[in-house]
């Protein structure tokens, strides 16, 4: 895809008529204010060699979630064709271009761990969230998802669903007495974009315990958070 065609495509999904996408050339990265992006991003994305950039970005993933997201990392290693610094207004992210086995290029956005939190309730509870999840958000990406739909991935901090904020009709089917999570301590970190979430109830999150919560179907309890996220991420790529 030519650069202008790519920008036109990306601009369809900014969710704002005022904001536009720009892709920052390696030579221009040093002009970005020092504290706006991680120092490691700055060094990696100044690289002109794509293979080296990709390898170094994936090394960040390996450092923090090598076991938890091994399938995702393996897929990216085989099918990631570029990583670029993307600006949407004054927000910086890494744009991942993934060419899947069918030859289709998929764009994923890896949000900036230095971004402002912008989620008051979650910020209040952040220290109670399992360590590995916090580590991903604080060191790798504060959200990683399919760019056009903003789903099939780990939600950005501002979009993580706090279950207590919503009325869930499915509870009538389940019966409130049968509910095994507490909405007041439950967050949906992963969304498939169709009303299903991988939820962490921080009061019951030992061993990365998670729930598959749906607005339409009965929940599945006692799943491993990373197993589900890693599997679903790869399904999204394919």
- Domain membership flag for residue 106: yes
Q: Does residue 74 lie within any of the structural domains?
A: yes
Kindly state whether residue 168 falls inside one of the protein's structural domains. Answer: no
10 assigned to some structural domain: yes
Residue 128 in this model has a pLDDT that exceeds 70: yes
162 occurs within a structural domain: no
Asked if residue 199 belongs to a domain, the reply is no
> Degrees (nearest 5) of the Cα angle 156, 162, 167?
135
85 bridge partner residues: 24, 94
196: in domain: no
Residue in this structure with the two tokens 């990406």, named with its chain if needed: 141
Instruction: Using the predicted structure, report yes or no on whether residue 1 has a pLDDT greater than 80.
Output: no
- Pairwise CA distance, residues 81 & 122, whole Å: 34
- 98 DSSP β-pair partners: 80, 106
CA-to-CA distance for 105 and 1, rounded, in angstroms? 9
- Can you give the pTM of this predicted structure? 0.95
pLDDT digits (tens, 9 = 90+) for 68-121: 999 999 999 999 999 999 999 889 999 999 999 889 999 999 999 999 898 999
pLDDT tier, 141 (very low <50, low <70, confident <90, very high otherwise): very high
Number of domains in the chain: 1
pLDDT for 173 equals 86
Range 22-38 average pLDDT: 92
When the pLDDT of each residue in the chain is averaged and rounded to a whole number, the result is 94
186 domain-assigned: no
Residue 106 sits in which domain range? 3-157+226-237
Return d(Cα 50, Cα 84) in angstroms, integer: 9
Reported confidence tier of residue 19, pLDDT bands at 50, 70, 90? confident
Interatomic CA distance for residues 93 and 143, integer angstroms? 10
pLDDT at 54 over 70: yes
CA distance 62 to 73: 7
Q: Parallel, antiparallel, or unpaired for β 196-201 and 186-191? A: antiparallel
CA–CA distance, 197 with 229 (Å, rounded to integer): 10
CA 105 to chain centre: 18
């Amino acid at each position: 895809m030519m650069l202008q065609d790519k920008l036109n495509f990306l601009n369809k999904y900014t969710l704002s008529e005022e904001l536009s996408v720009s892709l920052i050339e390696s030579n221009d990265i040093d002009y970005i204010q020092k504290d706006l992006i991680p120092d490691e991003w700055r060094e990696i994305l100044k690289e002109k060699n794509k293979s080296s950039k990709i390898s170094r970005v994936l090394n960040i993933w390996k450092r923090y979630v090598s076991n938890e997201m091994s399938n995702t990392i393996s897929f990216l290693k085989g099918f990631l064709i570029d990583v670029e610094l993307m600006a949407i207004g004054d927000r910086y992210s890494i744009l991942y271009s993934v060419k899947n086995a069918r030859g289709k290029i998929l764009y994923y956005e890896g949000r900036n761990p230095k971004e402002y939190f912008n989620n008051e309730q979650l910020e209040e509870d952040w220290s109670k969230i399992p360590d590995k999840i916090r580590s991903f958000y604080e060191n790798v990406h504060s959200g990683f998802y399919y760019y056009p739909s903003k789903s099939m991935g780990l939600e950005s901090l501002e979009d993580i669903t706090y279950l207590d904020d919503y009325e869930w009709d499915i509870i009538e089917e389940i019966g409130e007495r049968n509910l095994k999570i507490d909405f007041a301590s439950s967050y949906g970190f992963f969304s498939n974009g169709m009303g299903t979430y991988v939820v962490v109830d921080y009061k019951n999150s030992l061993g990365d315990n998670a729930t598959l919560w749906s607005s339409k179907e009965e929940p599945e309890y006692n799943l491993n958070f990373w197993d589900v996220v890693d599997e679903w991420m790869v399904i999204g790529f394919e």
